[in-house]
Copies of this chain bind each other. A is one copy, B any other.
Amino acid sequence: MPTTAPSTKRGRPGYDQQSVLLIAVDVFNRHGYDATSMGILAENLGISKSAIYHHVPSKGDLLKLALDHALGGLEAILEQPQAKTGTAEARLEFVLRETISVLVERLPYVTLLLRLRGNTEIERDAMERRRTFDHKVAALISAARDEGSLRQDIDPRTVTRLLFGTINSIVEWYKPGGSLSPEKLADDVITMAFNGLHVPR
């Protein structure tokens, strides 16, 4: 687990808040957040509902903690020096690589984020933070195009959609711990997106 995951111990032996959260996120991803009751969560955790309340005040708090973990990881990328200095192309490549890395390290949390429907205030706030992140990456794509690094014949909005489509779809199939390492996956995405699948001529 990444060290920045919420991990406050709140007394109950066997589970801390972080492990309750990880199981809750898994249940949300399988059943959908709306369809998951505290009863279903308790069943999956093998503890009573009141024991869950010992860790978090409500289902919404679990959702908020989970989404913060996903969004915090993404937002931190843009604060790193490599995202702020150098050519737009180099900054873009850095940000895309790190996005893939966060996505893989925090897979269930990012999956939850990407599947939000916006039915509650907590979901809408998270979607707004995600859009802000997306807009900053889109600005980097436009800058890389303006500096002459990216081809001019594709609208930068289309490039943004296709790049996010490619990267976000990773949550649907990637299996951590398999033969494809996160680093090779990031290399492959960057190679395909920037250099293309054709054999270099």
Interfacial residues, chain A to chain B (CB-CB below 8 A) = 32, 35, 148-155, 158-159, 161-162, 164-166, 168-170, 172-173, 180, 185, 188-189, 191-200
> What is the CB-to-nearest-CB distance from A100 to chain B, in angstroms, rounded to a whole number?
11
Given A165-B165, A165-B166, A194 contacting B188 (CB threshold 8 A): no
Q: A148: which B residues are within 8 A, CB to CB?
A: 199
Partner of A173 from B154, B165, B188, B195 at Cβ < 8 Å: B165
- A150→B180 contact, CB < 8 A: no
Contact A197 B159, beta carbon cutoff 8 Å: yes
Are A149 and B198 CB-contacts (below 8 A) given A154-B191, A165-B170, A180-B155? yes
A197/B194 contact (C-beta < 8 A), A172-B165, A189-B162 known: yes
Further pairs besides A32-B32, A152-B199, A165-B166: 7, Cβ < 8 Å = A148-B199, A151-B198, A158-B185, A161-B170, A161-B173, A193-B196, A195-B198
A194-B196 CB under 8 A given contacts A166-B166, A170-B165:
yes
19 contacts between A and B (CB under 8 A): A148-B199, A149-B199, A150-B198, A150-B199, A151-B200, A154-B192, A158-B180, A159-B197, A161-B169, A161-B173, A162-B189, A165-B168, A165-B169, A165-B170, A165-B172, A193-B196, A193-B197, A194-B196, A194-B197
Give A158's nearest chain B residue, CB to CB. B188
CA distance A165 to B189 in the complex (A): 11
Minimum CB–CB distance for A127 against chain B, Å: 13
B166 touches A197 (CB 8 A): no
Chain B contacts for A191, CB-based, 8 A: 151, 153-154
Cβ-closest chain B residue relative to A199: B151
Closest to A198 in B: B194
